[in-house]
Chain A
Amino acid sequence: MSQTLAEQILSQTAGRPVRAGEVITTPVDLAMVHDSIAPSVIRVLHEELGAERVWDPERIAVAIDHVAPAATVQTAEQQNRVRAWVRAQGIRHFFEQGRGIAHQVLVEEGLAQPGMLIVGSDSHSTAYGAVAAFGTGMGTTDMALALATGRTWLRVPETIRITAHGRLGFGVSAKDVALKLARELRADGATYQAIEYHGFDDFSIGERMTLTTMAIEVGAKAGIVAPTGAAMAERPVPAWLRVQPEARYSRSLSIDLERLEPQIAVPHQVDNVVDLAELGRVEVTVVYLGTCTNGRYEDLAAAARLLRGRRVHPRVRMLVVPASRDALQQAIADGTLATLLEAGAALGTPGCGACIGRHMGVLGPGDVCLFTGNRNFRGRMGSPEARIYLASPEVAAATAITGYITDPRAVLDDAPSAVAA
């Protein structure tokens, strides 16, 4: 019986062969909770479910990443409650403020591994599919049940197969692929389904995370990159996890990387995507480089390559928030961070920052933000009177230089006129 990667992983955890469409109850391999949801998870776990201990303190990860450091007395108090609970339960995998965004950290720490079923309290838990895990986001009650029992219920999803051909051109990156897929599939195109990504063998783990964090933006339950290519060499892929060409897919889509142009999502939906070339002149007030989608070292380095020896436009505030401490340290070590700061960028603590509109760069009325994150919903990053455009780190850097949304290739090809514009 041929199976999709999602079916293989869920068959493994459930301990029997499962098929798309079945509703199953299955053990999970790892459960992640983050600061903004953890306090209510703890309340449901102890007060409503009456569970005194978590199912396995070794298989739970807790991250303080969404409002890190605390922004209000309320958040500080709730974070302290989470810290005390982590100690009382003996949870070892605890990631303090500044360590970074949970998804990035779990991959860096090797906690997320191929073939695992990982449930997380953040919707971008689809990120773990970058290392061929089945990662999926859940709400408070589901997370409390998972922490209490080590199990969850799932409908085994149908799978959409994406096949890429060729290699990305100059100035085009993984984010453009993710936006193009949102454009093709639409915001609900993968609802209740998994996505399998093929043909991305030369993508790094970071580039794969850019794809899989955005699987949720088309409604997917999980996004899994086929565990092949050099990036997977250090990660043990279990023998049972293999692409099975005869697997049944609900839909197949192909994408020509060679011909892909820089993409941009315009307000206020992630699937309002156009070729950057189709966009008129849009002046911005904020450029935000960061998040689980595009805040890794390689994203900072890509931006620094464009900003080296140039300045952020005087009308623009550029904010850099590395996805993790490791990313920040790497950017310090090779001068990437110095380049960004010399150009005029401001630096935030590794974490989610202003992505969710809670602190450290919240947008005001009239702000126009070029954002490397994953959602441009009205009001998400602050004022509902602000406008958010989503694009790659390369577009972010080019835009920071000129002050209006700019194709990175234009800046590199014709730097003096672009800077003067």
Chain B
Amino acid sequence: MSRVWRFGNDINTDQIVPGRYAPYMTGEAELRKYPFIEARPDFAPNVQPGDIIVAGRNFGCGSSREYAPQALKLVGIGAIIAPSFARIFFRNALNLGIPLFEADLTWLADGTEVTLDRDQGLLHTPQGTVQLPQPPAWMREVWAAGGIVPYVRRYGRFPGEAAA
């Protein structure tokens, strides 16, 4: 079982990891302590691997800082579900292998217990099972490889690019 962490619209990268907590300022070892340190201080101490973020539209707007999704990866976030994502955040999360689903599940209450079948895109909730829209095959290949770096190292090319 995973827990749902509910967030609102336009969650920006300064809320996910404020700039002054950047690895540049404090070192990479500390990063897992910082997600939502000011916006939602109960998150980092209580989040469990596999937990799911369900947010409103435009999740991850603002900076290009990849340590925002990296911090969420370090605490083991299982997926992020939002009606839309800011594009740099979307790329960064995809590159790190964090599953993102574009869907409006903001009716799910904070703390709801759910189970996600990532490969089928099925989310089992107390209110029933939701079929999440599946991203294109090449994106799922990047997840399956564990991120874009292992993908490029394995295949010697970018996803979607014809093999040489």
Query: Which residues of A does B touch, CB under 8 Å?
Result: 23, 25, 35-37, 39-40, 44, 48-50, 66-67, 71-72, 74-75, 78, 120-123, 125, 137-142, 144-145, 151-153, 187-188, 191-192, 219, 221, 269, 356-358, 362, 375, 377-380, 382, 384
A191-B84, A358-B25 are known; give 7 further A-B pairs, CB within 8 A: A123-B63, A142-B95, A152-B158, A191-B87, A356-B19, A380-B19, A384-B18
Give chain A residues whose Cβ lies under 8 Å from the Cβ of B104: none
Task: Given A50-B153, A139-B88, check contact A75 B14 (CB 8 Å).
Answer: no
Give Cα A36–Cα B152 distance, bound, in whole angstroms. 25
Interface string of B11-27 (1 = CB under 8 A from A): 01011001110111111
User: Does B96 reach chain A (CB closer than 8 Å)?
Assistant: yes
> When the two chains form their complex, are residues B10 and A123 in contact, meaning their CB atoms are under 8 A apart?
no
Lowest 5 A-B CB distances belong to which pairs?
A: A139-B66, A188-B58, A139-B92, A140-B66, A141-B95
CB-nearest residue of chain B to A375: B62
Q: Which of B20, B61, B64, B88 has a CB less than 8 Å from the CB of A188?
A: B61
> When the two chains form their complex, are residues B159 and A153 in contact, meaning their CB atoms are under 8 A apart?
yes
> When the two chains form their complex, are residues A188 and B57 in contact, meaning their CB atoms are under 8 A apart?
yes
Give Cα A49–Cα B152 distance, bound, in whole angstroms. 8
> When the two chains form their complex, are residues B66 and A25 in contact, meaning their CB atoms are under 8 A apart?
no
> When the two chains form their complex, are residues B161 and A153 in contact, meaning their CB atoms are under 8 A apart?
yes
CB-nearest residue of chain B to A153: B158
> When the two chains form their complex, are residues A145 and B19 in contact, meaning their CB atoms are under 8 A apart?
no
Task: Given A48-B149, A49-B153, check contact A137 B88 (CB 8 Å).
Answer: yes
Give chain B residues whose Cβ lies under 8 Å from the Cβ of A152: 158
Q: Which of B19, B66, B69, B86 has a CB less than 8 Å from the CB of A191?
A: B86
Give chain B residues whose Cβ lies under 8 Å from the Cβ of A219: 58, 61, 86-87
Give Cα A151–Cα B148 distance, bound, in whole angstroms. 14
User: Does B124 reach chain A (CB closer than 8 Å)?
Assistant: no
User: Does B118 reach chain A (CB closer than 8 Å)?
Assistant: no
Give Cα A36–Cα B26 distance, bound, in whole angstroms. 11
Give Cα A25–Cα B156 distance, bound, in whole angstroms. 13
> When the two chains form their complex, are residues B147 and A141 in contact, meaning their CB atoms are under 8 A apart?
yes
Give Cα A41–Cα B139 distance, bound, in whole angstroms. 22
CB-nearest residue of chain A to B159: A153
Task: Given A25-B161, A187-B61, A357-B20, check contact A379 B10 (CB 8 Å).
Answer: no
B86 CB, min distance to chain A CBs, angstroms:
6
> When the two chains form their complex, are residues A141 and B57 in contact, meaning their CB atoms are under 8 A apart?
no
Provide a sorted-by-A list of 11 A–B residue pairs whose CB atoms are within 8 angstroms.
A71-B25, A72-B25, A74-B26, A137-B64, A140-B92, A141-B92, A142-B91, A221-B87, A269-B10, A356-B63, A377-B12
User: Does B128 reach chain A (CB closer than 8 Å)?
Assistant: no
Q: Which of A36, A142, A375 has a CB less than 8 Å from the CB of B22?
A: A36
> When the two chains form their complex, are residues A357 and B161 in contact, meaning their CB atoms are under 8 A apart?
no
Query: Which residues of B does A touch, CB under 8 Å?
Result: 10, 12, 14-15, 18-20, 22-28, 38-39, 57-58, 61-67, 69, 84-88, 91-92, 95-96, 138, 147-149, 152-153, 157-161
Q: Which of A40, A78, A362, A379 has a CB less than 8 Å from the CB of B38?
A: A379
> When the two chains form their complex, are residues A74 and B87 in contact, meaning their CB atoms are under 8 A apart?
no
Give chain B residues whose Cβ lies under 8 Å from the Cβ of A121: 64
Give chain A residues whose Cβ lies under 8 Å from the Cβ of B85: 191
Task: Given A36-B24, A141-B147, A188-B57, check contact A25 B158 (CB 8 Å).
Answer: yes
> When the two chains form their complex, are residues B18 and A380 in contact, meaning their CB atoms are under 8 A apart?
yes
Give chain B residues whose Cβ lies under 8 Å from the Cβ of A153: 158-161
Give chain A residues whose Cβ lies under 8 Å from the Cβ of B159: 153
Give Cα A66–Cα B20 distance, bound, in whole angstroms. 11
Give Cα A25–Cα B159 distance, bound, in whole angstroms. 9
Q: Which of A25, A123, A377, A379 has a CB less than 8 Å from the CB of B64?
A: A123
Give Cα A145–Cα B159 distance, bound, in whole angstroms. 12
Q: Which of B15, B86, B153 has a CB less than 8 Å from the CB of A378?
A: B15
A129 CB, min distance to chain B CBs, angstroms:
15
Task: Given A357-B20, A362-B20, A377-B15, check contact A49 B86 (CB 8 Å).
Answer: no
> When the two chains form their complex, are residues B65 and A37 in contact, meaning their CB atoms are under 8 A apart?
yes
Give chain B residues whose Cβ lies under 8 Å from the Cβ of A356: 19-20, 63
Give Cα A144–Cα B153 distance, bound, in whole angstroms. 13
Q: Which of A25, A71, A138, A139 has a CB less than 8 Å from the CB of B160?
A: A25
Give chain B residues whose Cβ lies under 8 Å from the Cβ of A67: 24-25
Give chain A residues whose Cβ lies under 8 Å from the Cβ of B22: 36, 358
> When the two chains form their complex, are residues A78 and B62 in contact, meaning their CB atoms are under 8 A apart?
no
> When the two chains form their complex, are residues A358 and B10 in contact, meaning their CB atoms are under 8 A apart?
no
Residue from the set B58, B64, B69 with the largest chain A CB neighbour count within 10 Å: B64
> When the two chains form their complex, are residues A123 and B62 in contact, meaning their CB atoms are under 8 A apart?
yes
A66 CB, min distance to chain B CBs, angstroms:
8
Give Cα A219–Cα B58 distance, bound, in whole angstroms. 8
Give chain B residues whose Cβ lies under 8 Å from the Cβ of A187: 10, 58, 61
